[in-house]
Copies of this chain bind each other. A is one copy, B any other.
Amino acid sequence: MKNPLLVVGSVALDRIETRAGKREEILGGAATFIALSACHFTPVNIVAVVGRDDFADEHVELLTSRGVDVTGLERVEGRTFRWSGVYADDFSSRTTLDTQLGVFESFDPRLPQNYQGARFLLLGNIDPTLQLKVLDSVSDKCFTATDTMNLWIDIAKEKLIEVISRTDLLIINDEESLMLTGKSQVAVAAEQILKMGPTSLIIKRGEHGAYLFTGDTTFFAPAYPLPDVIDPTGAGDSFAGGLMGYLAGMGSTATSDIKKGMIFGTAIASTTCEGFGVEATSGLDRPAIDRRYEALRKLTAID
Contacts and interface: CB of A to CB of B under 8 A. Distances in A.
A229 interface: yes
| Chain A contact surface mostly | loop
A218 B260 contact: no
Interface stretch (A134-142, A193-201, A204-212): A204-212
Interface in A242-281: 256, 259-260
Q: For the complex formed by this chain, how many copies does it contain in all?
A: 2
Interface centre among A218, A225, A260 (most CB of B within 10 A): A225
A300 B303 contact: no
A63 interface: no
Interface residues of A, number: 32
Contacts of A226: 185, 187
Contact of A225 (B187, B259, B300): B187
B299 A220 contact: yes
A179 interface: no
Contacts of A208: 205, 208-209
Given A187-B225, A218-B225, A260-B302, 17 more contacts: A89-B184, A185-B229, A186-B225, A188-B227, A208-B209, A209-B209, A211-B225, A217-B298, A218-B298, A218-B299, A219-B299, A219-B300, A220-B222, A256-B302, A256-B303, A259-B302, A300-B300
